[in-house]
Structure 1
Amino acid sequence: MTGPATSGVDLSRLRELNSLSIVRALRSHPPSTVTELSQRTGLSRPAVDVIAQGLVAGGWAGVLEPGANSAVGRPARRYQFRAGAGFVIGVDVGVHKILALLADLDGTIVHSVRQAVAADAEPAARLAVLDTVLDTCLAEAGKSAADIWAVTGAVTGAVDASGRTSFSSPLPGWKSVNLATHLDARFDCPILIENDCKLAALAERWKGAASDADDIVYLLAGLRIGAGLIIDGVLRRGFGGAAGEIGALKQVRWLDAPAHLQNCPGIPSTVGPDDAAAWVFTAARDGDRAARAAVRRYVKDLAIGAAALVLALDPQVVIFGGGFSRSADLVLDPLRQELERLCLRMPEVRASTLGADSVALGALKLSLNEVDERLFSAGLSAPVAPRRR
């Protein structure tokens, strides 16, 4: 007995799903032939050929024509995802800087703009710098707001469901700021706001030292210490967005740890508080006993919170990131020793490879994830920027 005939609507949906499967296969691979796409998707070669040509006509794919110098026969044409169909932005609204990265849909950075901002800047002044950075980034890249498919803003402090740092923030007056609303006025695409530590963890798994791991504790180490958590390959926010904010517990000693560096004996009076840690690390590297002692005390306090997270989550790897990761040569060995003493099972401890760009890179990745979610759940349409729901 045969089943009911497939309706036109079902056939249309099947074509859409098959097209999406081809786009997926193109997104994550180099330019591919019809045969390669057929093997990757399980679709027949004739079906892939028709779909690929339709994706080219629809603006989702491009064709790399074979060269004419092949010694044996004519090589097959290759198809590639048209990453320039749209663009995303990741912007790090930090304490001392604002950094914007603009990338295509493959995550290739097209342009970046960085501008310093005073640590004590009021919200209006910080937002004005943000606007200048975004305007400059778009203009110098030759793009407009209409070309942007998603924007993610990274901020310090735990981010709640509304995208605000209503719990705490080291930025003066920032708890009153609604960054999503501010960006909504500039862009008509999806806007996401996330904590900087969480985004740095996402970046390390995407392009950094944790690309081979699914269970990660990321330590953002600087004059402020924070953590980002990835478990089973998923960025963990917690029920209210405060996952990883273990430094709020005074007994963990993260709040006071940077003071060991800032108050180190021997720091010249000409060195300001923001530069004291860099001076101490340099002096410690040169063998200064007081500086080495200050670094040891800092690492001991850092290890308390790191050990608590390791014991709770049992990660594969701990990433030492943030501004102090430039001095990982002084920190990693004593940090390993402390964790071995405190933990039941010792994870790998690695230094960040992304440096000061990690937060903005994580913001880019979250924007790309948002594009993928909309692309592969809502179906294919003309390659234009998605609008807010």
Structure 2
Amino acid sequence: MRKVNTQATLRALRREGVSTLTRLGRITGLSRQTVETVLDELTERGWVREVPPDEGVMGRPARRFEFRADAGHVVGVDVGGERIVVSVADLNGQVVACERAAVSEEAAAPERLAAARRAALACVDGAGISRTRVLAVSVGTPGIVDRSGRVSLSITLPGWTGVDLAGVAGRWFGCPALAANDANLAALAEHWRGSAQHASDVVYILVGHRPGAGILIGGRLHRGRSGAAGEIGTLRQVGWEDAAMELGARELGARELGARELGARELGARELGREGGAAEVFAAAGAGDAHAARRVDRYAENLAIGASALVLTVDPDLLVIGGGYSRAGDVLLGPLRRHLAELCLSAPEVVASTFGDESVALGAVRLALDHVEREVLGL
């Protein structure tokens, strides 16, 4: 009963922000004395603080409390083919620091892991957070990741198959660590705070030079038996890999140069490699170039084939397009919607990701928070 009372009080306090004993008692249905006992114990443990009364308050002010979101932090890491993205958040999920680092697509596993470690440590240290206050780390990566956090299969990252990603990440801060597929984590991020907040069944497709997909059913991540749910992009007949390579190939002619330069500025700083080539194509198509528009349409058609298979299977409320290519917006989503309407019995709403290429790291933050709330806070 004591544990139940603690959980109920802590949940209510986190929702309220700052609250009085009377208010918390009303929300939880517990007596004022019980709530006061619970809060005093949580204060001693460092999870709650008492808030001083406002200046000028007459008489005996009501005791007010708040959850200490800064009592610990979590780290979310996206280990990709050409970049590493790190986000550090407090226990309310508020991101307090971010770090980005480049890594070679041909980097061996030890080199990639070392780069991820440096970025994670730099992000925490740069935020002025003690490494001992990191309560959990979560890592997202391409490929199939089993429930233990080991990469059971990676096609795109050299030497990545078999890497105990969770085990390695746990040593960075000496804390529990988790690992998951990048598209799955991105789907979590969108459902938590992004474009899919109000949807129950969601298909998320990570589009870039390495496509992937994540599925939420009833608001919960569907991993599948081996963690491979959503990996439809590995089916050669779908053509996602070839379509991404074709789109990113640098084939723009001289007549498209003006539109390319203009569009690249509108999309942000030009990226290197295949995603950079794709950004130029999207920019030119958005500026009205017919040849670039045809290339985008071919890519959208190929993307729609795999997407429609997922849509016809899950019948989701929402299809979210994320990753680097999602920054193209309606230049990509427009033709994609048209092709999906032709392929699906009932095409869902199609929207762009709220977070773009930051979604994986944010989803990793959410996964780490879930662990802390369950295993540390007892929620």
- SS state of the match for residue 153, structure 2? coil
Give the CA deviation at 1:274. 4.1
Equivalent residue for 1:50, pick from 29, 32, 37: 37
Cα distance in 1, alignment partners of residues 171 and 252 from structure 2: 49
Cα distance in 2, alignment partners of residues 140 and 77 from structure 1: 35
Q: Residue type of the partner of 1:60?
A: W
For 1:5, the equivalent position in structure 2 comes to none
Residue deviations 1:242-275, cap 9 Å, x none? 0000112222221222133134742579985442
Cα distance in 2, alignment partners of residues 173 and 198 from structure 1: 22
Q: Which runs of 5+ in 2 are unaligned?
A: 261-271
Is residue 288 of structure 1 aligned with residue 289 of structure 2?
A: yes
Residue deviations 1:312-347, cap 9 Å, x none? 111111101110111012122222222222222221
Is residue 40 of structure 1 aligned with residue 40 of structure 2?
A: no
Is residue 302 of structure 1 aligned with residue 289 of structure 2?
A: no
For 2:341, the equivalent position in structure 1 comes to 340
For 1:232, the equivalent position in structure 2 comes to 218
Structure ranking higher in helix proportion: 2
* Aligned residues with identical type, % of pairs: 46
Residue deviations 1:196-239, cap 9 Å, x none? 00000000011111111121100101111110111111111101
For 2:266, the equivalent position in structure 1 comes to none
Q: Please say if residues 267 and 279 of structure 1, whose CA atoms lie closer than 8 Å, have aligned partners that are also in contact.
A: no
Residue range with higher mean Cα deviation, 201-210 or 53-62: 53-62
* Structural RMSD (CA): 2.2
For 1:95, the equivalent position in structure 2 comes to 81
Give the CA deviation at 1:178. 2.3
Is residue 185 of structure 1 aligned with residue 186 of structure 2?
A: no
Give the CA deviation at 1:75. 5.7
For 1:252, the equivalent position in structure 2 comes to 238
Matches within 5 A, 1:10-25: 14-25=1-12
Give the CA deviation at 1:180. 2.3
Q: Please say if residues 229 and 235 of structure 1, whose CA atoms lie closer than 8 Å, have aligned partners that are also in contact.
A: yes
- SS state of the match for residue 275, structure 1? helix
Q: Which protein is bigger by CA-based radius of gyration?
A: 1
For 1:349, the equivalent position in structure 2 comes to 350
Give the CA deviation at 1:376. 5.1
Q: Please say if residues 260 and 295 of structure 1, whose CA atoms lie closer than 8 Å, have aligned partners that are also in contact.
A: no
Cα distance in 1, alignment partners of residues 288 and 377 from structure 2: 56
Q: Residue type of the partner of 2:304?
A: A
Q: Residue type of the partner of 1:39?
A: R
Specify whether residues 143 and 169 from structure 1 end up closer, same or farther in structure 2 by C-alpha distance, changes over 3 A only. Answer: farther
- SS state of the match for residue 68, structure 1? coil
TM-score (norm 1): 0.88
For 2:265, the equivalent position in structure 1 comes to none
TM-score (norm 2): 0.90
Cα distance in 2, alignment partners of residues 299 and 325 from structure 1: 12
Residue deviations 1:43-62, cap 9 Å, x none? 12232233223322332211
For 1:375, the equivalent position in structure 2 comes to 376
Total equivalences in the alignment: 364
Q: Which structure would you say has the larger RCO, counting Cα contacts within 8 Å and 6 or more residues apart?
A: 1
Cα distance in 1, alignment partners of residues 273 and 184 from structure 2: 29
Cα distance in 1, alignment partners of residues 334 and 273 from structure 2: 28
Q: Which runs of 5+ in 1 are unaligned?
A: 1-13, 380-389
Q: Residue type of the partner of 2:219?
A: G
Specify whether residues 267 and 279 from structure 1 end up closer, same or farther in structure 2 by C-alpha distance, changes over 3 A only. Answer: farther
